[in-house]
A = this chain, B = another copy of it.
Amino acid sequence: MRAVIIHAPRDLRVETVTVPETGAGDVRIRIGAGGICGSDLHYYQHGGFGAVRIKEPMILGHEIAGTVESVGAAVTRVAPGDRVAVNPSRPCGYCRYCLEGKANQCLDMRFFGSAMRLPHVQGAFREVLVAPESQMVRLDPSVPLAEAAFAEPLAVCLHAANRAGPLLGRRVLVTGCGPIGVLSVIAARRAGAAEIVATDVADAPLAIARAVGADRAINIASEPDALGPYGADKGTFDVLIEASGNERALVGALDALRSQSIVVQVGLGGEFKIPINTIVVKEIEVRGAFRFYKEFELAAELIAKRLVDVRPLLTATLPLERAVEAFELASDRSRAMKVQLAFT
Chain A interface (Cβ < 8 Å from any Cβ of B): 50, 93-105, 107, 158, 161-163, 165-169, 187, 189-192, 194-195, 215, 233-234, 245, 247, 259-260, 265-290, 294-295, 298, 301-302, 305, 307
Shortest Cβ distance from residue A42 to the other chain B in the assembled complex, whole angstroms: 12
Residues of B within 8 A of A298 (CB): 168-169, 194
**Out of B50, B101, B162, B285, which one reaches A286, CB within 8 Å?**
B285
**Out of B107, B266, B307, which one reaches A280, CB within 8 Å?**
B266
**Out of B195, B280, B302, which one reaches A288, CB within 8 Å?**
B280
User: Nearest residue in B to A275 (C-beta to C-beta)?
Assistant: B271
If A101-B101, A102-B259, A103-B99 touch, whether A281 touches B288 (CB-CB below 8 Å) is: yes
Name A's interface SS.
mixed
User: Nearest residue in B to A299 (C-beta to C-beta)?
Assistant: B169
5 nearest interchain CB pairs? A105-B259, A280-B288, A100-B101, A169-B298, A101-B101
User: Nearest residue in B to A267 (C-beta to C-beta)?
Assistant: B280
Residues of B within 8 A of A107 (CB): 233-234
Besides A167-B191, A269-B277, 15 other A-B contacts (C-beta < 8 A): A99-B103, A100-B101, A101-B102, A102-B259, A158-B168, A168-B187, A168-B190, A168-B191, A169-B294, A245-B276, A268-B281, A270-B275, A272-B276, A273-B274, A283-B287
Q: Are A271 and B273 in contact (CB under 8 A)?
A: yes
Q: Are B163 and A168 in contact (CB under 8 A)?
A: no
Shortest Cβ distance from residue A128 to the other chain B in the assembled complex, whole angstroms: 29
In the bound complex, how far is the Cα of B162 from the Cα of A234, in angstroms?
Answer: 22
Shortest Cβ distance from residue A326 to the other chain B in the assembled complex, whole angstroms: 27
Shortest Cβ distance from residue A84 to the other chain B in the assembled complex, whole angstroms: 18
Residues of B within 8 A of A268 (CB): 276-277, 280-281
Q: List 14 A-B contacts (CB under 8 A).
A: A93-B94, A99-B101, A99-B103, A101-B101, A105-B234, A105-B260, A168-B191, A189-B307, A194-B298, A247-B276, A280-B289, A282-B288, A283-B289, A286-B287
Q: Are B280 and A265 in contact (CB under 8 A)?
A: yes
User: Nearest residue in B to A282 (C-beta to C-beta)?
Assistant: B288
Shortest Cβ distance from residue A36 to the other chain B in the assembled complex, whole angstroms: 21
User: Nearest residue in B to A193 (C-beta to C-beta)?
Assistant: B307
In the bound complex, how far is the Cα of B238 from the Cα of A194, in angstroms?
Answer: 24
Residues of B within 8 A of A294 (CB): 169
Shortest Cβ distance from residue A7 to the other chain B in the assembled complex, whole angstroms: 25
In the bound complex, how far is the Cα of B96 from the Cα of A103, in angstroms?
Answer: 12
Q: Are B169 and A295 in contact (CB under 8 A)?
A: yes
In the bound complex, how far is the Cα of B162 from the Cα of A167, in angstroms?
Answer: 10
Q: Are A99 and B96 in contact (CB under 8 A)?
A: no
In the bound complex, how far is the Cα of B200 from the Cα of A79, in angstroms?
Answer: 36
If A168-B161, A169-B295 touch, whether A283 touches B288 (CB-CB below 8 Å) is: yes
If A158-B168, A233-B107, A301-B194 touch, whether A270 touches B265 (CB-CB below 8 Å) is: no
